[in-house]
Structure 1
Amino acid sequence: MIKEAVKPMTYTDKDRIFYSQNNDVHATTLICIGGIHGNEPAGVYGLQKVISEIIVNDITFKGNFYALFGNMDALKANVRYKDFDLNRLWTKEEVESLCSADDSYEFDEQKEQCELYETIKDICNANKGDFVFVDLHTTSSPTVPFITISDSLNNRALADKFNIPIVLGIEEYLDGPLLSFINEYGHVSIGFEAGQHNDEKSVLYCEAFIWMVMEKTGLVSKHDFEYKAFNRVLNIEKGFYEIIYRHSLSESNQFKMKPGFKNFKPILKHQSLAFDGICEVKSPLNGLIFMPLYQKQGEDGFFVVRKLSRFWLVVSAVLRHLKFHQLLRLLPGIKRHPENEYCLVANRRIALFLTTKIFHLFGYRKKIIVDDKIHFIKRDRKVIPFG
């Protein structure tokens, strides 16, 4: 039986790292981040409950563990962010500009990002083994717990060890998430969405997920914690999904989701989902509703996802292991980016001929248009030094 919850500590601490344990610089290092959105404290509370059990039971890891605060000022104010969404600022351009600046900041999230970046960089430079990053979140709508990942094989391998929904492809639709930035350095990075912001079970789901990640990455054994109980908590329904549509919002948009929509529930093409202040917002296609917005802050009204077949996942993994993506470069109208080995540049005609699905199969999920060319960016990468 899971022990009665330890009363969560407050998150008014000044230190970005609120717990760490270092045992072997050559072993796996797990870095968990809670509260990168300040109105999502369940991740912080879940981490604090785990840490309390670690201290009480004197658990020593077979590796290293760090628990980090995300947006500390926003956490204290219980708002998603103060000025800008901290989980939309992680582009190389933003980070390079931030690190070249002095100690003065134009807005709160610049300071938060700089401190978080420097903390992560110091941790990565101090350790030499594998790194696993976990970003803990909750949603504005009711949901079962689920995992979000950039579609790399190392991310898939860890996510596939859990019996909960796994969503691929969010990096196609969002600019600047922290985990996409981390993934560019070749590290395993997964997001965990524990449930609705104010649902007490969200803290329990975060607690369970943290313990199970520790066990699956070899930091602890099944005998160190309530393995059977937490495993039951996360025994929901396995399945891989991909995002096929995003309804983005403008700053002036008066978006209001209709009540009653829950994650992974079927919706029909042309079904009315929301109002934007002027007219109805209807689904552009059949699929499953994903992350409908039921809060004031946010740039995403809702997503639509569909389930992926296990056959497609196996085929794509085999093709990537065999490096068949190199065959794409032999096609007319496609070439490797001269400065980025993980990017293919395609003219629009060949991109339309092959379809985006083919590029997805080979691991090229991020798509951007530059000078009338389409850049397809691959998430499977070799590890490089952080920073």
Structure 2
Amino acid sequence: MEKGKNKEYSRIIGTYTSNKKGPLLFVTGGIHGNEPSGVKALQKVFEELEKTKPEIEGAIVGVVGNKIALNVDQRFIDKDLNRTWTIENVEKGEKDTQEKKEMFEIIEVLKRYPESDFTKRHFLDCHTTSAATVPFISVQEVNDNDAWAHKFPTYIIRGFSDIVSGCIDHYMSRTGLTGFVFEAGQHTDERSVENHEGVIWLALKEACKLDLTQISCFPGCVDKFVQDNAPDQKTFEIIHRHGLEDSDEFIMEPGFENFQKIEIGQLLAYQNGKEIRSEWDAHIFMPLYQSQGNDGFFVVEEVEV
């Protein structure tokens, strides 16, 4: 529904099932309000599912993350929703910020799909980045998340949620779901929607035994991600996080892209007027090129699987 220049979002984008026993695939988009790509991709997926009615095992549910922030194209309103899912916040039950209200609404949706109703429960959280990037998976190494992530053809980052507190994938994992975060590309890159759509279709294939040839958009809606946009699979681990305080003035040097190689001594950024130079021969990850956020950048290195 149009509302001025903005859109008003419903919490549930869509649900689909063939009424056959099987897993749950719980997909979230727009956890950050300036990242609508996952929502757009989910809308396309559910339109196709309703059009072609393919057989799947279990069910897929698509959920909007930060509705209010999406309405105004802003990362968050009061506090980053992807830093809100701490054990303390969930246990206290307080709804004193807009993001806590959003979090508890999403939790209530998930409660409608209890573990007892499914053979397994998977999650997929869809994001984009402020810097240019190839698509990549961010996975927490708990449960069988890592093995699940390696079924998908792109770069894989381990350990982000172990460093950054309150992420939604940390909540999903500790409540027994298997899954990962998928970063599809830069916020404004049209390929980000292609990549989100592609990974959702692949997740439906892997989790819910969807025969991709049953959908009318195949192979294009999958190949745009797998063959055109995704790099060959590599695995990286985070070796450093450059965190920021709300009061810090931080300016990233222009032109950095995710996974770009950096060298010892290279100028990376300015913080409160002081130079920040690399202490590593490694790769830069998630350089901050937006006004909101408390992670200046990360440093990662490739590892053997």
Provide TM-score, normalisation by structure 2: 0.92
Q: Map 1:130-279 onto structure 2 (within 5 A).
A: 130-152=120-142, 154-225=144-215, 226-229=217-220, 230-231=222-223, 233-235=225-227, 236-279=231-274
CA distance in 2, matches of 1:232, 1:281: 37
Q: What secondary structure sits across from 1:284 in the alignment?
A: coil
Contact kept? 1:25, 1:126, Cα under 8 Å:
no
Contact kept? 2:282, 2:299, Cα under 8 Å:
yes
Query: Corresponding residue for 2:83?
Result: 88
Give a deviation string over 1:100-132, Cα, whole Å, max 9, x none.
Answer: x5xxx4221121111111111222257232001
CA gap 1:128/1:163 in 2 versus in 1, 3 angstroms: closer
State the AA in 2 paired with 1:172.
D
Give a deviation string over 1:29-72, Cα, whole Å, max 9, x none.
Answer: 10100000000000000111111111222234221110000010
Q: Which moved more, 1:202-211 or 1:268-277?
A: 268-277
Query: Corresponding residue for 2:3?
Result: none
Query: Corresponding residue for 1:42?
Result: 37
Q: What secondary structure sits across from 1:244 in the alignment?
A: strand
Give a deviation string over 1:191-230, Cα, whole Å, max 9, x none.
Answer: 0000000111111111111111111223411212344431
CA gap 1:22/1:52 in 2 versus in 1, 3 angstroms: closer
CA distance in 2, matches of 1:284, 1:194: 28
Q: Which moved more, 1:78-87 or 1:159-168?
A: 159-168
CA distance in 2, matches of 1:171, 1:191: 10
CA gap 1:118/1:138 in 2 versus in 1, 3 angstroms: same
- Per-residue deviation, 1:11: 5.1
CA distance in 2, matches of 1:64, 1:116: 17
- Per-residue deviation, 1:232: 5.3
Tell me, yes or no, if structure 1 residue 70 matches structure 2 residue 65. Answer: yes
Q: What secondary structure sits across from 1:241 in the alignment?
A: strand
Query: Corresponding residue for 1:108?
Result: 98
Provide TM-score, normalisation by structure 1: 0.73
Q: Which moved more, 1:291-300 or 1:170-179?
A: 170-179
CA distance in 2, matches of 1:22, 1:162: 23
Q: Map 1:241-320 onto structure 2 (within 5 A).
A: 241-310=236-305
Query: Corresponding residue for 1:345?
Result: none
State the AA in 1 paired with 2:90.
V
CA distance in 2, matches of 1:58, 1:86: 34
Contact kept? 1:86, 1:109, Cα under 8 Å:
yes
CA distance in 2, matches of 1:183, 1:172: 12
- Per-residue deviation, 1:186: 2.8
Structure 1's unaligned 5+ residue stretches are 1-9, 311-387
Q: What secondary structure sits across from 1:156 in the alignment?
A: helix
Q: What secondary structure sits across from 2:144 in the alignment?
A: helix
Question: Highest CA radius of gyration, 1 or 2?
Answer: 1
CA distance in 2, matches of 1:63, 1:140: 35
Contact kept? 1:34, 1:43, Cα under 8 Å:
yes
Give a deviation string over 1:13-42, Cα, whole Å, max 9, x none.
Answer: 34x212112444741110100000000000
Q: Identity of counterpart residues, as a percentage?
A: 37
Q: What secondary structure sits across from 1:270 in the alignment?
A: coil
Query: Corresponding residue for 1:351?
Result: none
Q: Which moved more, 1:54-63 or 1:144-153?
A: 54-63
CA distance in 2, matches of 1:187, 1:31: 9
Q: How many residues align?
A: 295
Contact kept? 2:143, 2:178, Cα under 8 Å:
no
Query: Corresponding residue for 1:31?
Result: 26
State the AA in 2 paired with 1:13.
Y
Contact kept? 1:273, 1:282, Cα under 8 Å:
yes
Tell which has more relative contact order, 1 or 2 (C-alpha 8 A, sep 6+). Answer: 2
Query: Corresponding residue for 1:13?
Result: 9
Contact kept? 2:139, 2:179, Cα under 8 Å:
yes
State the AA in 2 paired with 1:234.
V
- Per-residue deviation, 1:280: 0.9
Q: Which moved more, 1:48-57 or 1:297-306?
A: 48-57
Q: What secondary structure sits across from 1:217 in the alignment?
A: helix
